[in-house]
Amino acid sequence: MRLLFLAVLRPHTGNAVTAQRVRDHLEAAGHVCLLRDAFDFDGPSEVAGLIRAEALEAALALHLYRAGRLLQGHGIPFGVIFGGTDLNEDISQGEKKQVMGKVLEEARFAVAFTESMKAAACLQWPQAEGKIYVQSQGIATAPNASFDWGAFLQRAGISRGAHGVHVFLLICGLRHVKDPLYLVDAFSEWHQEEEPSAYLVIVGPEVDPVFTREVKAKVERAAGVRLLPEMPQEDLHAVIQNCFALVNTSVSEGMSAAILEAMDLEVPVLARNIPGNAAVVQHGVTGLLFSDPQVEDFVQLAQGLLRDPALRGAMVARGREYVQTRHSWRAERDTYQSLIRTLEQGADRQDPLTRASP
Ligand SMILES: *[C@@H]1O[C@H](CO)[C@@H](O)[C@H](O)[C@H]1NC(C)=O
Ligand SMILES: *[C@@H]1O[C@H](CO)[C@@H](O)[C@H](O)[C@H]1NC(C)=O
């Protein structure tokens, strides 16, 4: 089939990554999939023009409000995927909620990433329950096999001391909500006074230029802390694989792909205790959660991890198991490929996922 896929594709957002992965799933099944940014269209008539010009037969939207509403009324079948802000924000605004309800009514299927997202949607639109499927986001990591870790450390200005190097990695767009400076003081003090092998390396795109200057100035003065620009995904995965632990300090909502990628790569995770992280990281089992940067908390957990290789080993084994069972890339591929078949002309309305399973 020739498919249109509308999503919000701002770079460095989870949505853009998810959309590209779903497009890959659909193309792997032999479909042609035009992925476009919903914000590039002024309204449904522009979308109608594209559908005609490209002879598109069906469509998919990631985000009911921002993308799904552009798919209505064109006479081609479509499916939708709930975006985070659909259910966190837009659902509580009268007019937006109404629009989303209409989109959902017209859609042949809807996908929610979690059971709780589905529950939130069903509370609002109980009649749609039968067509809302839960499919968690699939995680696939592909570290660059020829990545040069030594050169990376050199670039970061880190030399291996007598006790080796332990890199704590923070992958993070430089924005206030990601709070990249949260640990800097405590970490730097720990590095200077107790653990000279420990370094905090912050890697990420400069999203907010003013804030970036602030981060740079602060990092320059902090011993044991480094800042590096963003890098291609394969290289980033190689860095995760080589680092001692992945750190997450964000206060923002949502699910951290980096945390799941680290788990997949058998690297321990130290994450700030916020709902999004606590949903993924079970403290002491699949990773560690901290609430405070100071000695009592982050530093103590980091130290424990350094001193106790058995704890580290057990945790990474369970983290990987969690990702492979709960965020299987293969399962995600199967789900989208079966759901998209329900958009084919004359497709019967039998439950696509029951039919797909052997
Ligand atoms: C992998 O790493 C090597 C060495 O750093 C680099 O030359 C190459 O471009 C990287 N490949 C990819 C796909 O990122
Ligand atoms: C950390 O986790 C949160 C919530 O899970 C996520 O939104 C954020 O993007 C993650 N990344 C960073 C750099 O903190």
Domains of the chain, first to last: 2-138+328-351 (3.40.50.2000), 149-326 (3.40.50.2000)
Q: Whose CA is nearest to atom 5 of ligand 1?
A: 147
Is the shortest distance between the CB of 252 and ligand 2 below 6 Å?
yes
In ligand 2, which atom is closest to the CA atom of 204? 13
Q: How high is the pLDDT of residue 93?
A: 86
Q: How high is the pLDDT of residue 64?
A: 95
Whole-angstrom distance, CA of residue 324 vs CA of residue 220: 39
Is the shortest distance between the CB of 235 and ligand 1 below 6 Å?
yes
Residues 148-206 pLDDT 10s: 999 999 999 998 877 789 999 999 888 887 788 889 999 999 999 999 999 999 998 88
In ligand 2, which atom is closest to the CA atom of 274? 4
Whole-angstrom distance, CA of residue 20 vs CA of residue 336: 13
Q: How high is the pLDDT of residue 345?
A: 72
Q: Which residue is associated with the tokens 């767009």? A: 173
Q: How high is the pLDDT of residue 253?
A: 65
- For the segment 316-328, the average pLDDT, to the nearest whole number, is 96
Q: How high is the pLDDT of residue 347?
A: 64
In ligand 2, which atom is closest to the CA atom of 279? 5
In ligand 2, which atom is closest to the CA atom of 252? 7
**Ligand nearest, relative to CA of residue 239:** 1
Whole-angstrom distance, CA of residue 99 vs CA of residue 188: 50
Both structure tokens of 8: 């919000």
- DSSP codes joined into one string, 194-249: T-TTEEEEEE----SHHHHHHHHHHHHTSTTEEEE----HHHHHHHHHHSSEEEE-
Q: How high is the pLDDT of residue 358?
A: 41
Write the single-letter amino acid at 12.
H
Is the shortest distance between the CB of 136 and ligand 2 below 6 Å?
no
Q: pLDDT exceeding 70 applies to what percent of the chain?
A: 95
Query: Could you tell me which of 219, 166, 239, 174 has the C-alpha nearest to residue 196?
Result: 166
CA atoms within 13 A on the CB side of 229: 2
Residues near 310 by beta carbon (within 8 Å), at least 6 away in sequence:
none
Q: How confident is the model at residue 45 (pLDDT cuts 50, 70, 90)?
A: very high
pLDDT surpassing 80 at residue 313: yes
Whole-angstrom distance, CA of residue 200 vs CA of residue 168: 5
Whole-angstrom distance, CA of residue 77 vs CA of residue 105: 12
Q: How high is the pLDDT of residue 259?
A: 93
Is the shortest distance between the CB of 178 and ligand 2 below 6 Å?
yes
Residue to substitute in 233, 235, 236 for testing ligand 1 pocket (most ligand atoms within 8 angstroms of CB): 235
Whole-angstrom distance, CA of residue 249 vs CA of residue 171: 10
Is the shortest distance between the CB of 234 and ligand 1 below 6 Å?
yes
Average model confidence (pLDDT) across the chain: 91
Q: How high is the pLDDT of residue 207?
A: 83
Q: How high is the pLDDT of residue 14?
A: 78
- For the segment 73-94, the average pLDDT, to the nearest whole number, is 89
Both structure tokens of 357: 């399973």
Whole-angstrom distance, CA of residue 287 vs CA of residue 264: 12
Q: Give the β-pairing of 198-203 and 225-228.
A: parallel
pLDDT surpassing 70 at residue 112: yes
Residue to substitute in 141, 147, 234, 240 for testing ligand 1 pocket (most ligand atoms within 8 angstroms of CB): 147
Residues 245-301 pLDDT 10s: 999 987 766 677 889 999 999 999 999 998 888 888 999 999 999 987 775 689 999
Whole-angstrom distance, CA of residue 270 vs CA of residue 11: 25
Residue to substitute in 176, 248, 274 for testing ligand 2 pocket (most ligand atoms within 8 angstroms of CB): 248
Both structure tokens of 208: 């907010």
Q: How high is the pLDDT of residue 353?
A: 74
- Higher pLDDT among residues 146 and 292, named by residue: 146
- For the segment 20-35, the average pLDDT, to the nearest whole number, is 97
Residue to substitute in 252, 274, 288 for testing ligand 2 pocket (most ligand atoms within 8 angstroms of CB): 252
Q: How high is the pLDDT of residue 86?
A: 86
Q: Whose CA is nearest to atom 7 of ligand 2?
A: 254
Least confident of 30-44, 51-65, 77-91: 77-91
Q: How confident is the model at residue 350 (pLDDT cuts 50, 70, 90)?
A: low
**Ligand nearest, relative to CA of residue 148:** 1
Q: How high is the pLDDT of residue 254?
A: 67
Q: How confident is the model at residue 354 (pLDDT cuts 50, 70, 90)?
A: low
Least confident of 68-77, 95-104, 275-284: 275-284
